[in-house]
């Protein structure tokens, strides 16, 4: 099943990504309802967070080399590394019409890094920027001419995501300073499958239409980190370039890749531990022109606080305990209202095989609401990250 999804993803991304590496840098390939609060517009911002960072509420993403946020953090990587992340989400949406539970499988982050010399690291990775995968099915009655009408069932199945493929480098010229630069290719696709079935299947013929919307854009990012014995300050920004939405060989619309800036400050005075506060601002409104005229992107803050604490030691290895809280605004309105997400998270991390394998586990519980919208959404997300140091 998983392999089938990866192959499907590979087919979809083929020709749109210059780097085959990105083929397994899976955006979400699961399915869930679009009839929810979080997957509006071009989709849900998975967050470009590693499992480690997610366990700490996202507060570590500026200083976590496995999270493709601040390229300067790559300088922390001391050896060759490959990283892969699995992240299913179990979502419950409740409205007056009832409760629906859906499951989304995501593979939001894949990454590789290679140190060059003693203080320079390059990496190539792909992550999901906006996951739009969804299936929505609803019944309605179409009134035709005169007294003619037909009950029908419409199903929208949308498969795919907007992805971020990043080539980045980090340099640590001195022990208290790290700087990094990243070049981003915004790619991916949305495969839209529209089907309609009619109650009167003798008179009316069911149909299915398919359309592939592809994304093509670019961006640059930069980051810097200042390191002291007990504190780590980090800031980063992404400057979006042009972004186009294509259907086959036709440019449907143009917009800009959203700008982003953020920063965090972390206390690292406890050995092997970090307690961090982070704030991040995404200019999602830049995507407004990419969709239909009514689409409104919301410039959003993403704030979090969390800790990654070295816990009990077992032999030479420590078990890391993590926890955090996150509050953010989602990029697209639902029913013309801003959607907020608050989440609590916890996690574990450990190293195995003489630290050749690092495993991180995070569990996130999120509540999503929109003012004056009679709908609530709860989600459990389980994120597993595996790092391998060959």
- Ranges within 47-106 binding another protein (CB under 8 A): 86-88, 93, 95, 97-106
Smallest gap from residue 320 Cβ to another protein (A): 11
C-alpha span between 168 and 148 (Å, rounded): 60
Q: Which is nearer to another protein, 20 or 99 (CB)?
A: 99
Q: Tell which positions 331-390 bind another protein, by CB under 8 A.
A: 332, 334-335, 348, 350, 352, 359, 361, 373-375, 382, 384, 386
Q: Which is nearer to another protein, 4 or 118 (CB)?
A: 4
Smallest gap from residue 49 Cβ to another protein (A): 17
* Stretch of residues binding another protein (CB under 8 A), selected from 221-229, 245-253, 261-269, 301-309: 245-253
Q: Is 150 in the site for another protein (CB under 8 A)?
A: yes
Structure letter (DSSP) for residue 86: E
Q: Tell which positions 154-183 bind another protein, by CB under 8 A.
A: 154-158
The label of the residue with tokens 């496995």 reads: 66
Tally of helices (H runs) and strands (E runs) in the chain: 2, 18
* Stretch of residues binding another protein (CB under 8 A), selected from 56-64, 73-81, 138-146, 229-237: 138-146
C-alpha span between 205 and 195 (Å, rounded): 11
Q: Tell which positions 178-217 bind another protein, by CB under 8 A.
A: 190, 192, 194, 196, 198, 202-207, 209, 211, 213
Smallest gap from residue 152 Cβ to another protein (A): 7
Smallest gap from residue 386 Cβ to another protein (A): 8
Q: Which of 37, 75, 161, 257 binds another protein (CB under 8 A)?
A: 37
Q: Which of 11, 79, 80, 140 binds another protein (CB under 8 A)?
A: 140
C-alpha span between 122 and 75 (Å, rounded): 9
C-alpha span between 193 and 20 (Å, rounded): 26
Q: Is 222 in the site for another protein (CB under 8 A)?
A: no
Structure letter (DSSP) for residue 141: E
Pairing of strands 300-314, 317-329: antiparallel
Please give the size of the binding site for another protein, defined by CB under 8 A: 84
Phi-psi region of 272 (alpha: psi -120 to 50; beta: other; left: phi over 0): left
C-alpha span between 109 and 184 (Å, rounded): 14
C-alpha span between 13 and 180 (Å, rounded): 28
Q: Tell which positions 274-303 bind another protein, by CB under 8 A.
A: 291-292, 295
Smallest gap from residue 77 Cβ to another protein (A): 22
Q: Which of 310, 319, 338, 388 binds another protein (CB under 8 A)?
A: 319
Q: Is 137 in the site for another protein (CB under 8 A)?
A: yes
Structure letter (DSSP) for residue 161: E
Question: Three-state SS for 341?
Answer: strand
**Looking only at Cα atoms, what is the longest distance across the chain?**
81
Residues in the chain: 390
Handedness of CA 172, 178, 184, 189 (dihedral sign): positive
Q: Is 317 in the site for another protein (CB under 8 A)?
A: yes
């Amino acid at each position: 099943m998983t392999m089938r999804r990866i192959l499907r993803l590979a087919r979809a991304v083929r020709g749109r990504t210059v780097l085959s590496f990105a083929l397994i840098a899976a955006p979400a390939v699961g399915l869930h309802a679009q009839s929810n609060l979080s997957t509006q517009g071009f989709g849900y911002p998975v967050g470009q967070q590693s499992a480690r960072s997610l366990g700490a509420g996202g507060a570590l993403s500026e200083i976590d080399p496995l999270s493709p946020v601040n390229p300067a953090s790559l300088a922390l990587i001391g050896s060759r590394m490959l990283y892969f992340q699995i992240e299913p989400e179990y979502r419950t949406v409740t409205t007056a019409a009832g409760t629906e539970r859906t499951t989304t499988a995501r593979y939001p982050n894949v990454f590789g890094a290679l140190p060059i010399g003693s203080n320079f690291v390059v990496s190539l990775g792909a992550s999901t920027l906006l996951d739009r995968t969804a299936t929505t099915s609803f019944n309605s009655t179409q009134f035709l001419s005169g007294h003619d009408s037909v009950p029908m069932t419409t199903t929208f199945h949308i498969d795919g995501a907007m992805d971020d493929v990043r080539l980045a480098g980090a340099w640590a010229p001195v022990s208290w300073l790290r700087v990094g630069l990243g070049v981003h290719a915004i790619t991916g696709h949305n495969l839209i499958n529209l089907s309609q079935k009619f109650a009167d299947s003798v008179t009316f013929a069911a149909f299915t239409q398919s359309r592939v919307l592809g994304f093509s854009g670019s961006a640059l990012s930069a980051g810097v980190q200042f390191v002291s014995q007990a504190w780590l300050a980090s800031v980063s920004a992404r400057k979006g370039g042009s972004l186009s939405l294509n259907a086959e060989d036709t440019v449907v619309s143009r917009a800009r890749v959203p700008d982003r800036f953020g920063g965090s400050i972390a206390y690292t005075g406890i050995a092997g531990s970090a307690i961090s506060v982070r704030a991040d601002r995404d200019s999602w409104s830049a995507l407004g022109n990419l969709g239909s005229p009514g689409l409104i992107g919301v410039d959003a803050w993403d704030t979090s606080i969390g800790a990654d604490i070295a816990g009990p030691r077992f032999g030479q290895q420590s078990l890391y305990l993590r926890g955090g809280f996150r509050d953010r605004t989602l990029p697209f309105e639902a029913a013309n209202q801003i959607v907020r997400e608050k989440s609590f998270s916890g996690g574990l991390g450990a190293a195995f095989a003489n630290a050749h394998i690092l495993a991180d586990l995070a569990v996130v519980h999120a509540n999503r609401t929109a003012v004056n919208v009679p709908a609530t959404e709860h989600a459990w997300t389980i994120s597993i990250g595996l790092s391998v140091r060959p």
